[in-house]
Structure 1
Amino acid sequence: MSGTLETDEELPLPERHRFLRRAALRRRKPRLRVTDVTVTPEPSVKRAVKATMLGNAMEWYDFGVYAYLAVTIGKVFFPSGSDTAQTLSSLATFAAAFLVRPLGGMFFGPLGDRIGRKKILALTMIMMSAATFAIGVLPTHAAVGLWAPALLVFFRMVQGFSTGGEYGGAATFIAEYAPDKRRGFFGSFLEFGTLIGYTLAAVLVTALQTFLSNEQMLSWGWRVPFMVAAPMGLVGLYLRLKLEETPAFQHLEEESGPADREEKVPFLQRFAGQWRAVAVCIALVAAYNVTDYVLLSYMPTYLEDTLGFSGTSGLMAIVVVMVILMALINLVGRLSDTVGRKPLLMTGSIGFLVLSMPAFMLIRTGTWPLVFAGLLILGMCLLCYLATMSAVLPALFPTALRYGALAIAFNVSVSLFGGTAPLAVEALVSATGNDLMPAFYMMLFAVVGIVAVANLKETAGKPLKGSPPSVATREEAVELVHAQHNRS
């Protein structure tokens, strides 16, 4: 007989009962101590949120500028062909950046789980701002021929590669800093930064289109928003470098020695073990990003090319909607900490399913108040996603592979569905002549969102997987420990 018993079947009945009691005690959750609880003071959380939010604003400013200048860029870099062909070529270049986003996620994500979130977020900031500035100084098609669109595609891919490590890292960073009971509120600031980036891009492009002639915009005006990226990137980089690593990652490093941190199991094998969470993540991101990119990125092109709105009027309508979303997003994020993430996500999904068609029927009237009303309806539905997604997605994965798993799943979904949405919708409108195709497209992915939310576990107020409970003060930690002891 071996020195240890594989099962209790070899024991006499009395000893078997004692064996089972001891086994149950070993399986019982260890008693929580105050020192086990992560205490992150609110000033530290606010510093982390501010730096991450502003960095994210910089990232999405870059993408917003390209989206809002899609028609102009089509004329500068793809001068041959009809206006529709130029716009499709420009949007295809926009979509090209999304082809490499999964590669960026596969590269930066696992690296962020090994060496830390902070270093990777600083690196992605440098790459994004440098690539955006480079687009602003590119020679045009008239100057160098086909080299111009080739270089444009190259730098768009650099943007996409760097962004592959941005959102997953930024969402992870805020989620791991935020107290469990306020993760929805603090997480909403990440998308607040997204809206700031988009709004700043829209305001700057609108101002240029207002004060410059078409000839000036085509000659040099389109370059200005891209060149602004350099100083903005330096500010974001400075703020990120001043941050400390997240408490959850520090805890992970303290719990494992250098030898333990070496990956004994390949990352992709561990990632595959999270297939349920990955599937839910991909579906949620698909529903969220299709609606996000159609409303915030594609809509100016739709209003200008399809409905004949002036570029300035279309952008201003989008800007006003985004300002309203910014005013409400933190309130909705706070609400998600109280009522849960699932009710809000389900509200947004059902809203897109039911209201997309009426909203686009208002938009296609071409009357400014009705266009604005239609955009605002879509914006309110999108707000349910924007305010909660940054808290929902990081909670799907354990700390040890959170950055990598989220970066890969997020970017695969964005590349397949989100980034291609403007191109797909424009192509559908051109092919069918039906200017309601964007509504049908959003309704389709609203169904995907409903199915994903139905399979989502509620995480509001709960610790992140693989991380200890997180609170804002020591008093909260003491209360949490006493509450657990009273329950046990």
Structure 2
Amino acid sequence: MTAKADTPKQNEWLVILASSLGTVFEWYDFYLYGLLATIISAQFFSGVNETTGFIFALAAFAAGFAVRPFGALVFGRVGDMVGRKNTFLVTMGIMGLSTFAVGLLPSYAAIGVAAPVLLVFLRLLQGLALGGEYGGAATYVAEHAPAGKRGFHTSFIQTTATLGLFAALLVVIGCRSILGEAAFADWGWRVPFIVSILLLGVSLWIRMQLEESPVFAKMKAEGKTSKAPLTEAFARWGNLKIVFIALFGAVAGQAVVWYTGQFYALFFLEKTLKVEGATANILIAIALAIATPAFLFFGWLSDRIGRKPIILAGCAIAALTYFPLFESLSKAANPALYAAQQNAPVTVIADPASCAFQFDPIGRNTFESSGCDVAKSLLAKAGVNYANAGHAGDPATVTIGNRTLAYSGEPAAFRAAINAGLVEAGYPAKADAAQINKPLVVLILTILVLYVTMVYGPIAALLVELFPARIRYTSMSLPYHIGNGWFGGFLPTTAFAMVAATGNIYYGLWYPIGIAALTVVIGLFLLPETAKRPLDE
């Protein structure tokens, strides 16, 4: 071991700034799609029913996450063999050009099924690029950081995902305000994607000013770089065991807490609580602005008390409080809807065999083959919480409070009766902006983001410290991107599918709660503390 590996060869703040700005840009690109999922559903999945289209849009969003582990393998190997700097220059170029192309992509109305196919292809390219970017940036910053400050320095990288989301929110809000909702939904949604080409040029120029990591440069000079990083990382049990512990004892829980706090909450506001899109974006943006400095605080704190206790505490607190927080969010964001749910609960009573799962992977089911399907399809689209009841042979009926509506065999008439019953019971078509308790909504959203800062602020330092320098890029990237790409990235799709299957608007929360609780148990017993480990071994 040598002290030189801990001595930065270039200004440490230039390293942090350049690495962070580039990563902010990549997250900006990646998250634009998530913010515009509702509009993209209408633009690219208009050939299916609305509920299925939205779940498809979320699935296409998740497709970018699905391939992130493969990007981690490809670019992690290159990063451990060729170098940290050049690898994340390549990943940035792929991400930027893919995002620009989304802004030019014809809609379903223009080219039919080719539109969603091309969209998914571009999302896959984005996911591959991001799979290589994060590990490179985190490793690069950590390998420049002075001993005892790695948690604090890498926490700047951890802010980039939130800052990228924040930047995307500001651009989307600005475009919506300037163009108006109608023009934005028609063509203006393309503008945030297209202007990203300018950010790509700036970010690439900044990154090109950097030198190679001192730890990697020293290894290369001494001829100690790995010739087969994939084999060393994953074909040898000693390292593979640490990969599994990192995934299930830290990253999986971190991922679901992150995506619940920053994405599922946004989708929940828009899709379930019927808060107008621009308003939901502004409320999330305010919460992000308030809570983002906590990434740096928890990164700094992890240098003093350790990475493990902060990450596991964040997972545990989130798992214990998600249900009351989201119920409070419902009450604050759409009080009329919440009151109607309490005063006039909805129940669908039908023979279970006549009820289809409210998600059609083929995209052609109109859900009109039974009264149960007609009712559930309407209620799911309206974001109405409902219970299920009935036994074999029961005719399809819907109760709204004390009112019972029976299916007579006419889908249109049944839908009209249900809609009338919902209106009479006080169920609103959308949230009344004047009735939203905005301070309380922002407070709840801020709490959710603070959970994110607890689990995410120290995670980069933990992962970098877990693995040896010669295979660090490869080893840390895979568990990070499996956790965040699969456990986290599929969270909105999985949670909304669970809601569609049960009718309970809170049922999807069981997914992040279960994963976070699992991480607490595994991490408590198997995850080592890493804060004092050297990086050049």
- TM-score tier by shorter-chain length is 0.7 to 0.9
Counterpart for residue 307 of structure 1:
273
When residues 433 and 197 of structure 1 are mapped into structure 2, their CA distance, relative to the original with a 3 A threshold, is same
Alignment length, in residue pairs? 431
The partner residue of 1:144 within 80, 87, 111 is 111
Check if 1:279 corresponds to 2:244. yes
Check if 1:460 corresponds to 2:425. no
Check if 1:376 corresponds to 2:446. yes
Counterpart for residue 262 of structure 1:
227
The answer to whether the 8 Å contact 2:462/2:530 transfers is yes
Over the aligned positions, Cα root-mean-square deviation in angstroms equals 2.0
When residues 72 and 374 of structure 1 are mapped into structure 2, their CA distance, relative to the original with a 3 A threshold, is same
Counterpart for residue 246 of structure 1:
213
When residues 290 and 427 of structure 1 are mapped into structure 2, their CA distance, relative to the original with a 3 A threshold, is same
Check if 1:216 corresponds to 2:183. yes
Counterpart for residue 23 of structure 2:
56
Which amino acid is 2:516 matched to? A
Partner Cα separation in structure 2 for residue 162 and residue 225 of structure 1:
19
When residues 98 and 120 of structure 1 are mapped into structure 2, their CA distance, relative to the original with a 3 A threshold, is same
The answer to whether the 8 Å contact 1:132/1:226 transfers is yes
Which amino acid is 2:238 matched to? G
* 1:54 aligned counterpart, secondary structure: helix
Partner Cα separation in structure 2 for residue 264 and residue 202 of structure 1:
38
Partner Cα separation in structure 1 for residue 61 and residue 229 of structure 2:
39
Partner Cα separation in structure 1 for residue 226 and residue 454 of structure 2:
38
Which amino acid is 1:246 matched to? S
Higher helix fraction (1 or 2): 1
Matches within 5 A, 1:130-141: 130-141=97-108
Out of 427-436 and 130-139, give the one that drifted further. 427-436
Matches within 5 A, 1:46-445: 46-256=13-223, 262-263=227-228, 266-267=231-232, 270=235, 272-283=237-248, 284-365=250-331, 366=333, 367-445=437-515
* 2:292 aligned counterpart, secondary structure: helix
| 1:267-292 deviation per Cα after TM superposition (whole angstroms, max 9, x unaligned) | 45555431221012212221111121
Partner Cα separation in structure 2 for residue 380 and residue 120 of structure 1:
32
Counterpart for residue 20 of structure 1:
none
- Offset of residue 378 of structure 1: 1.5
Partner Cα separation in structure 2 for residue 235 and residue 95 of structure 1:
28
| 1:311-343 deviation per Cα after TM superposition (whole angstroms, max 9, x unaligned) | 122111211111112222212211111121122
Counterpart for residue 418 of structure 2:
none
When residues 201 and 265 of structure 1 are mapped into structure 2, their CA distance, relative to the original with a 3 A threshold, is closer
Which amino acid is 2:532 matched to? G
| 1:417-472 deviation per Cα after TM superposition (whole angstroms, max 9, x unaligned) | 111111001111122121212432222122122124312221223312xx16xxxx
| 1:33-58 deviation per Cα after TM superposition (whole angstroms, max 9, x unaligned) | xx644352496221111111111111
The answer to whether the 8 Å contact 1:359/1:373 transfers is no
Which amino acid is 2:258 matched to? D
- Offset of residue 208 of structure 1: 2.3
Counterpart for residue 44 of structure 1:
11
| 1:70-124 deviation per Cα after TM superposition (whole angstroms, max 9, x unaligned) | 0000001111333322211111111111222222111110111000011100000
Report the TM-score, using the length of structure 1 for normalisation. Answer: 0.84
Partner Cα separation in structure 1 for residue 167 and residue 124 of structure 2:
22
* 2:527 aligned counterpart, secondary structure: coil
Partner Cα separation in structure 2 for residue 439 and residue 377 of structure 1:
16
Out of 340-349 and 263-272, give the one that drifted further. 263-272
Partner Cα separation in structure 2 for residue 442 and residue 264 of structure 1:
32
Partner Cα separation in structure 2 for residue 303 and residue 385 of structure 1:
23
When residues 206 and 321 of structure 1 are mapped into structure 2, their CA distance, relative to the original with a 3 A threshold, is same
Gaps of 5+ in 1: 1-31, 469-488
| 1:222-250 deviation per Cα after TM superposition (whole angstroms, max 9, x unaligned) | 10111122111111111212111111111
- Offset of residue 352 of structure 1: 0.7
The partner residue of 2:518 within 432, 448, 452 is 448
| 1:188-242 deviation per Cα after TM superposition (whole angstroms, max 9, x unaligned) | 0001122110001111112223333333123211101111221111111112121
The answer to whether the 8 Å contact 2:261/2:449 transfers is yes
* 1:364 aligned counterpart, secondary structure: helix
| 1:339-366 deviation per Cα after TM superposition (whole angstroms, max 9, x unaligned) | 2112211220121122112211111112
The answer to whether the 8 Å contact 1:362/1:373 transfers is no
When residues 265 and 81 of structure 1 are mapped into structure 2, their CA distance, relative to the original with a 3 A threshold, is closer
The answer to whether the 8 Å contact 2:287/2:443 transfers is no
Partner Cα separation in structure 1 for residue 194 and residue 153 of structure 2:
31
Out of 327-336 and 317-326, give the one that drifted further. 327-336
